[in-house]
Amino acid sequence: MPTRARRTQRRNQVLSREQIIDTAIDLLDTGGEGALTVRAMTDRLATGSGAIYYHVGNRDELLDTATETVITAALATKPARAAASPEDEIRAVALALFDAIAAHQWLATRLTLQIIRNPVGPVTVGIFERLGQQVGALGVPQPRWFDAASTLVHYILGAVSQNARVEGDTSGIDPDADREEFFDAASAAWQALDPEDYPFMHAIVGQIREHDDREQFLTGIAVVLDGLTNLR
pLDDT in tens, 72-98: 999 999 887 777 899 999 999 999 999
Q: Which residues contact 145 (CB under 8 A, 6 or more apart)?
A: 132, 135, 136
pTM above 0.85, yes or no: no
Write down the pLDDT at residue 43: 92
Beta carbons within 10 angstroms of residue 136's beta carbon:
14
**How far apart, in Å, are the Cα atoms of 141 and each of 135, 136, 226?**
9, 7, 15
Q: Which residues contact 51 (CB under 8 A, 6 or more apart)?
A: 8, 11, 12, 15, 20, 45
Question: What is the structure's pLDDT at 231?
Answer: 78
Amino acid found at 132: G
Closest CA to 218 of 160, 166, 162, 165: 160
pLDDT greater than 70 at residue 102: yes
Rounded Cα distance, 92 and 127, in Å: 12
3-state secondary structure 71-102: HHHHHCCCCCCCCCCHHHHHHHHHHHHHHHHH
The predicted model gives 203-227 an average pLDDT of: 87
The pLDDT assigned to 84 comes to 84
Q: Which of 16, 31, 110 is nearest to 70 (CA)?
A: 110
Give which of 128, 133, 108 is closest to 28, Cα–Cα.
108
Closest of 112, 115, 70, 74 to residue 92, by C-alpha: 74
Domains of the chain: 1-57 (1.10.10.60), 81-232 (1.10.357.10)
Tell me which of 206 and 146 has the higher pLDDT. 146
Give mean pLDDT, residues 190-212: 85
